[in-house]
A = this chain, B = another copy of it.
């Protein structure tokens, strides 16, 4: 019996099939061993029907209908402001839940959702996919294995190829909660240490309209971890040379780095020098392997009854750090994380 259950594919329903949700649905349908796409649901019915037709699965007309498809798990990929209610509904329905980040931009709301998950005891994983990037993961392994000793200094750079449209920016929660939140997660992930203090400086250098939206497009943040490790994170909304994503941990016995992959390993050498291609485009291209591996981890954990590797605590901590960063920027001083918890 158990053996049979073990080999049956995990039936997953995807909620929200916009850009990121459609990608998750395709990955589950075609590239994740041990999983099957059972159905999709999107409040915008034409999207739902289009993706369902392409992937040859049913389109549910409602959340209730979706849950009815004998699902083992749901993937919440709809717009951020719907995550809390969907999480609670999925938890109450007893489904394992994968949820795209963020759960919420509001700490009380996030806690309400995560409490429901906790209470229901359902497996939960938050979509910090970059943890599954092979390069970044190699940095984490080098720290966790002790190979480079205790972490002393961390450098993280995340720079997008182009800024999002202004209407997106206005509802995004701002650079710290929308973009740098991945880096706050990365700092915790690679060091294995909590953050206790945040100092943030940010400016508008890329796109003046960000100022009108009360946001910044360029920032540099210092994190102090609970063991004294120091992390520098910089973000920019526009890198002319393409998507730039680097992580580096310097420790007592060495350094582990995750650099940018090139689009390909070709180069042209002339009297002007050696020219290599720019970085690959945006995150769907750069991080595709991480999304596949993220699903493999989730499916593996649910099937074996172990805890998925990116937990409710991991969903909460980066939001708190991001709120502290916002306060630091506004008040011009270092902010203790406990001030905003």
Q: How many copies does the complex hold?
A: 4
**Contacting pair A273 B277 (CB below 8 A):** yes
**Contacting pair A149 B240 (CB below 8 A):** yes
Residues of B within 8 A of A334 (CB): 199, 332-333
**Contacting pair A199 B228 (CB below 8 A):** no
Give chain A interface residues in 149-202, CB to chain B under 8 Å. 149-150, 152-153, 155, 157, 159, 199, 201
The listed residue with most B CB atoms (<10 A of its CB), out of A199, A252, A273, is A273
Whether A254 touches B236, Cβ cut-off 8 Å, given contacts A230-B203, A277-B138, is no
Q: How large is the interface on A (under 10, 10 to 19, 20 to 34, 35 or more residues)?
A: 35 or more
Is A44 among interface residues, defined by CB-CB distance under 8 A?
A: no
**Contacting pair A135 B265 (CB below 8 A):** yes
Secondary structure at chain A's binding surface: helix, strand, loop or mixed?
mixed
Give chain A interface residues in 241-265, CB to chain B under 8 Å. 241-242, 244, 250, 252-265
Residues of B within 8 A of A332 (CB): 334
**Contacting pair B254 A250 (CB below 8 A):** no
Is A330 among interface residues, defined by CB-CB distance under 8 A?
A: no
Is A97 among interface residues, defined by CB-CB distance under 8 A?
A: no
For the complex formed, measure the closest distance between the CB of A208 and the CB atoms of chain B, giving whole angstroms.
13
The listed residue with most B CB atoms (<10 A of its CB), out of A149, A228, A274, A278, is A274
For the complex formed, measure the closest distance between the CB of A135 and the CB atoms of chain B, giving whole angstroms.
4
Q: Mark A98-134, 1 if CB is under 8 A from B, else 0.
A: 0000000000000000000000000000000000011
One of B147, B152, B270 near A253 (C-beta < 8 A) = B270
A159 to B257, CA, bound (A): 15
Q: Mark A302-341, 1 if CB is under 8 A from B, else 0.
A: 0000000000000000000000000000001110000000
Is A268 among interface residues, defined by CB-CB distance under 8 A?
A: yes
Whether A153 touches B220, Cβ cut-off 8 Å, given contacts A148-B270, A333-B333, is yes
12 A–B pairs (Cβ distance < 8 Å), ordered by A: A136-B266, A138-B266, A201-B222, A205-B228, A220-B231, A222-B222, A232-B234, A234-B250, A254-B269, A256-B268, A258-B265, A274-B276
Known pairs A155-B155, A255-B269, A274-B277 / 15 extra A-B pairs, C-beta < 8 Å: A137-B266, A153-B157, A155-B234, A201-B224, A206-B252, A232-B232, A240-B271, A254-B268, A254-B269, A256-B268, A257-B268, A259-B265, A259-B266, A262-B274, A273-B277
